[in-house]
Structure 1
Amino acid sequence: MTTVLKFIHLGAIAIWSGGLIALPFLFGQRRGLTATTDLDRLHRITRLVYVELTSPAAFVAIASGTALIFLQATFVEWFSAKMVLVGIMAMLHVAAGLVMHQLFSPDGHFSRFSETVLSIAYVVVIVAIIWVVLAKPHIDSNLFAPHLFEPGGLGRWLHQSFGETRIPTP
């Protein structure tokens, strides 16, 4: 079961990543389009990539990854770093949806600078995730948050960092 789930997870990640990398290029095609038929065609293609391919792949990747967490009991620091990067990737995914929403309005535009920045952001996050997963770097959480990975450690760390210093005992 774990092997099948890993294949599903990797396939979904590949589709999600590929779609995110393709979207800024598609957004950039908006420059210079004034003909209604060309604009409509680009809008349909962009929505296909975002709504029908990339978003479902993101859902499957996150759902299968969540299932794998519980099947493999992966609770180490490098994995926490990976989850932060996946969160950033999900936020960039939402950013693409917001760009697409305004892009096809009558006065919508997407500059070369925006295309470059969004493309670089996607590639950097995707490469960082791949690197963390393959390298599994040793990250000593005791250097920045001692006892964080102990039961109740996150709550104690949050209270010490941002709230009262005394934790009520049950």
Structure 2
Amino acid sequence: MTTLLKFIHLATIAIWSGGLVVLPFLFWQRRALSSGPELDRLHRLTRFVFVEMCSPAAFIAIGSGTALIFLQTTFLEWFSLKMVLVGLLVMLHVAAALVLAHLFEPGRSFGRIASVTLTGSYVILITSIIWVVLAKPHIDSNQIAVGLFAPGGLRQFLGETRIPMP
């Protein structure tokens, strides 16, 4: 069961990552097109990549990854770093959704700098996630935030918080 889940996780990560890397190039192609059949074709293709490939793959990758967390009890500091990086990747996924929602309106375009920046961000994050997973670097959380991972450590780190009751 775990092997099948890992295969599903890795396959959907590959689809999600590949789709995210290609999206800025598709966004950039919008600049040269005015209304007409070519713009409609690009719009349909871009929506297909994002809505029917990337987003379902992301959903399945995150779901299968969450299941693997509990099956393999992976609760180490390097894994926390991986989760932060995945969270950033999800935020950039949402950024692509926002771009797609408005890009094909009349008079809109996506510049070269934006395309290179978004592609670079995706590549850096994906490479960082792969490196963290493969290297599993030893991170001593006590050097970052003393006692944060100890029971009750978050309360000591943030201080006593009181929520006023009505």
The letter of the residue matching 1:128 is S
CA offset digits 1:49-90 (Å, max 9, x no partner): 000000000000000000000000001000000000000000
Q: What secondary structure, in the 3-state scheme, does the structure 1 residue paired with 2:30 have?
A: coil
The aligned residue for residue 72 of structure 1 is 72
Matched residue, 1:101: 101
Q: How many residues align structurally?
A: 162
Q: Counterpart of 1:47?
A: 47
Moved more, 145-154 or 65-74: 145-154
What displacement does 1:107 show?
1.7
Identity in percent: 65
Equivalent position of 1:135 in the other structure: 135
Q: TM-score, normalised by structure 2?
A: 0.94
TM-score (norm 1): 0.92
TM-superposed CA distance for 1:154, in Å, is 2.5
- Structure 1 residue 158: Cα displacement: 2.5
User: What amino acid maps onto 1:23 in structure 2?
Assistant: L
Deviation digits for residues 131-165 of structure 1, max 9, x if unmatched? 00000001111012122222232333222xxx65x
| Shift of residue 36, structure 1, vs aligned partner | 1.3
Deviations 1:95-133 (A, max 9, x none): 000011110011211000000000000000000000000
CA distance in 2 between counterparts of 1:5 and 1:137 reads: 24
CA distance in 1, matches of 2:155, 2:57: 33
Alignment of 1:1-20 (within 5 A): 1-20=1-20
Cross-structure match for 1:28: 28
Query: What is the CA RMSD across the aligned residues, in angstroms?
Result: 1.3
Give the Cα–Cα distance (whole angstroms) in 2 for the partners of residues 67 and 4 of structure 1.
12
Structure 1 unaligned regions, length at least 5: none
Q: Structure 2 regions of 5+ residues with no counterpart? A: none
What is the CA–CA distance in structure 1 between the aligned matches of 2:121 and 2:16, rounded to whole Å? 14
SS of the residue aligned with 1:30? helix
User: For 1:75-154, what aligned pairs fall within 5 Å after superposition?
Assistant: 75-154=75-154
2:82 aligned partner, one-letter code: K
Q: Which residue identity does 1:48 align to in structure 2?
A: F
Matched AA of 2:142: N
